[in-house]
Chain A
């Protein structure tokens, strides 16, 4: 499964980078979303993929007896999801304002500083 995931993540990165290299600023946003999904999956895969063993401790137990998925990677991804949403929200509103002001979504025309 790791191999399949590696291919998926590679595709996500490639698509994200391609979109971020477009002149349209809206495509840049889509690129950002793709990139953050790819990065999260990267962390997830690097920590090791395990089926059906969520890091939950049963009632009455002190710790998990057998194998468990890596809780740290999950905590990191949780944080990353929320933060990338924050960044996205900010970027979207900023771009919206910028497009309103300069009347274009072409970054080549967004060159002036005033």
Chain B
């Protein structure tokens, strides 16, 4: 059933374009039925999973390589599956209306559903290899979706950037996975997690580094955070789905998943908390400086991802619970806020905070959803985001290291989060009404259902935190922590330090909101700093890559046949020659005994012929010498028991000489074209290659030869091939199909030769009809002028 859930997304994805042309306007709702069904099926597993059970399905894929399609449903994957399918339901309905009328909407659905399937596969996979395959599939579908408006040059560049960064991480991840599988002795996550912690393993550090590289690039951690805001070039439903609620959390999922096996070491704690805290601050400060609505949301997503990484780095029981709670809260409000950003664009035509104000009377329902979601983001009581923030502060305060530093960082980040929350909750809706490019109004249910439901869930979970805690979060936190987690969620913890810090950040954040414009003007230096940032580094790297490949293409692929030959031959001579010289014992088969006079004569004549052919000044002489050479070689065949070969050689050589003389006799005589230095260089390469061949033959013929299959042909020639000339039997019986192929090749050559002979320069082949026409014209002309043709 789990497998069907994943595969059905891909099947529906393939059918989506066709379906779209049939059902038109309502396709979004229709397709949304699939995630709804998946959501309901997995929701039915909640009682089982929350009691601490797991569900596992395995299907053999490549049993010989220990790769199987295996799926694991536990608290963590269930939380993700419900988010993916639940938000996916609203996104599909939303996208159907948001992108309505787009000529490629069917294709859009294809990518979106394909992404959904990959993401489900990623969080459900129990096998590292299949997890990696789904991981890369999400990268590819993300690329397709970011670059959906591919006519735009800038969009293509941004899609490319996201792809490069995440694929680079994916490569590292694959290596890390292989190391992990080798270290743990299994590629099944359930077995790896049940096994001992690997923090003492000799491969631990490289393994951790590579896996973290994969997770950090995917989840946009500093210094790889730059691709995420650029991914906002995607249509808004994509941003809402991939780049806030689901895909960017894949890295977080991986860290959470592997925490029981890889977590707990000093390096894990150091790297994750520091990078996480750095990402958190970078993200939110950049968010506070941006004005584009989607860009602010994107940077605040970077902040949330950093927070999650930091919590997973701390790795305590409290931190695990805080992480899953924060993750759920973030998915709910960020999904809603992105969809609202899309509504503002779609219904009012605004993309920037500075262009919008006082829309609450025109869009009351949107305002309500936006305020609920934004207040949850800001962590205002009684919304679910408040609980998430309280848990975050508690986890940081009770962490094992750097409590003070991390607390200061978290509170600082929270001040800016409040600013961003206030921007989203107040700026577009209150104040003086600015006329928007489009007449603003509340959208229909397809666009509004998602934000309203997700925002309302944020309120519901905030008021009744026991619901998510008992049914989902505790099981998820247990999977992250590795042991059952007992904590519970409550809205009111009494007046304590986290609450006071919350109040502090709330008031400072609101103060900052008052002076938002001033803050932006005074922090303009950050803009200047960014030219030394990681994105600039990425651009430099890409430019370097392009100019390097231009250089190497010009050098190696210069289009000069002789240079290719020289390069290839020199490489062969050097490598093979080196290998020969490295042999323990160079035993050359030098043996001049038993030579017969006629053989020595022929070989001697051949040597002279070759030398003369090379130095010949005229083409005809050269051809004559080549003919002589061919006949000499035929004699050698005859001397050494190859009668048929000898006869064939004589025949072919005769035709070759005729052909050369007939076709090439009109060509210019030989000229001295190359310089003396070039000739010396070519002669050196030629002599070295020839010498190498000689040495190789002497080596090979001295070595004990392998068992030839020739004895089979000699034995079976009469009994099975009914022929006494074994060579002939091989050609026309044992290997008859090869001979047929050879005949086919010759036929092709004949056609090619014929057509080239008849193809006149710049003129199409002359047909008989053309000829008749020409003759007719000639006759008419001569009849007129009275001259005989």
SS of A interface (majority): helix
Stretch of B370-378, B537-545, B710-718 at the chain-chain interface: B710-718
Q: Which of B696-753 contact A (CB under 8 A)?
A: 697-698, 700-701, 705, 708-710, 713-715, 717-719, 724-727, 730-731, 735, 738-739, 742, 745-746, 749, 752-753
Query: From residue 87 to 114 of chain A, which have CB atoms closer than 8 A to chain B?
Result: 87-90, 92-97, 99-101, 105-108, 111
Q: How far is the CA of A110 from the CA of B260 in the complex (A)?
A: 67
| Inter-subunit contact B641/A69 (CB<8 Å) | yes
> Across the interface, do B714 and A6 meet the contact criterion of CB distance under 8 Å?
no
**Nearest Cβ distance between residue A54 and chain B, in whole angstroms?**
4
In the complex, the answer to whether A33 meets B569 with C-beta atoms within 8 Å is no
Interface string of B587-625 (1 = CB under 8 A from A): 001111011100110010011001101100001001100
- Cβ–Cβ < 8 Å partners of B663 in chain A: 92-93, 96
Which residues of the partner chain A approach B749 to less than 8 Å between Cβ atoms?
A: 86-87, 89-90
- Report if B643 contacts A (CB, 8 A): yes
Would A74 and B642 count as touching, CB distance under 8 A?
Answer: yes
Asked if residues B714 and A58 are in contact (CB atoms below 8 Å), the reply is: no
Within 8 A of A (CB), among B237-265: none
Give which listed residue, A34, A54, A94, A100, contacts B642 with CB less than 8 A. A54
Known: A12-B610, A21-B682, A55-B726. A3 touches B589 (CB 8 A): yes
Q: Are B685 and A17 in contact (CB under 8 A)?
A: yes
Closest to A101 in B: B761
Residue of A19, A29, A54, A105 touching B643 (CB-CB under 8 A): A54
**Which residue of the partner chain, among B645, B708, B739, contacts A81 with CB atoms under 8 Å?**
B645
Which segment of B361-369, B516-524, B631-639 sits at the interface? B631-639
Q: Which residue of A lies closest to B723 (CB)?
A: A57
Whether B633 contacts A45 by the Cβ 8 Å rule is no
CB of B752 within 8 A of CB of A90, answer: yes
Which residues of chain B from 659 to 716 have any CB-CB distance to chain A below 8 Å in the complex? 659-660, 663-664, 667-668, 670-671, 673-674, 682-683, 685-687, 689-691, 693-694, 697-698, 700-701, 705, 708-710, 713-715
Q: Give the complex CA separation of A29 and B613 in angstroms.
A: 12
On whether the beta carbons of B611 and A64 are closer than 8 Å, the reply is no
Asked if B753 and A93 make an inter-chain contact with CB atoms under 8 angstroms apart, the answer reads yes
Contact A15 B610 (CB under 8 A): yes
Chain B nearest CB from A69 CB (Å) reads 4
Interface of B is mostly: helix
Known contacts A34-B610, A57-B718, A97-B756, A75 near B730 by CB under 8 Å: yes
Q: A52's closest neighbor in chain B, by CB?
A: B641
Q: Which of A18, A49, A108 contacts B614 (CB 8 A)?
A: A18
Separation in Å of the B222 CB from the closest CB of chain A? Answer: 49
CB of B771 closer than 8 Å to a CB of A: no
Contact (Cβ within 8 A) A50 B690: no
On whether the beta carbons of A72 and B664 are closer than 8 Å, the reply is no
Given contacts A1-B599, A4-B595, A14-B690, contact A26 B656 (CB under 8 A): no
Cβ B759 vs Cβ A13 within 8 A:
no
Does B528 reach chain A (CB closer than 8 Å)?
no
Contact with B along A62-83 (1 / 0, CB 8 A): 1110001111111101110111
Say which residue of B561, B637, B655, B697 sits within 8 Å of A107 (CB atoms): B561
Determine the distance from Cα of A58 to Cα of B717 in the docked complex, in whole angstroms. 12
Looking across the interface, which residue of chain B has its beta carbon closest to that of A88? B656
Q: Taking A21-B562, A42-B693, A75-B735 as contacts, is the C-beta distance between A26 and B670 under 8 angstroms?
A: yes
Show 21 A/B contacts (Cβ-Cβ < 8 Å), sorted by A.
A1-B599, A6-B698, A8-B606, A9-B693, A10-B693, A12-B610, A12-B690, A13-B689, A14-B686, A24-B670, A26-B664, A30-B613, A44-B636, A44-B637, A57-B726, A69-B641, A70-B708, A78-B727, A82-B746, A89-B659, A89-B753
Q: Which residues of B contact A (CB under 8 A)?
A: 559, 561-562, 565-566, 569, 589-592, 594-596, 599-600, 603, 606-607, 610-611, 613-614, 619, 622-623, 626, 629-630, 633, 636-637, 639-645, 648-649, 652, 655-656, 659-660, 663-664, 667-668, 670-671, 673-674, 682-683, 685-687, 689-691, 693-694, 697-698, 700-701, 705, 708-710, 713-715, 717-719, 724-727, 730-731, 735, 738-739, 742, 745-746, 749, 752-753, 756-757, 759, 761
Given A40-B633, A56-B726, 14 additional A-B pairs, CB 8 A? A9-B694, A10-B690, A12-B690, A21-B566, A21-B685, A34-B629, A44-B636, A57-B717, A57-B718, A59-B724, A68-B641, A75-B730, A86-B745, A107-B562
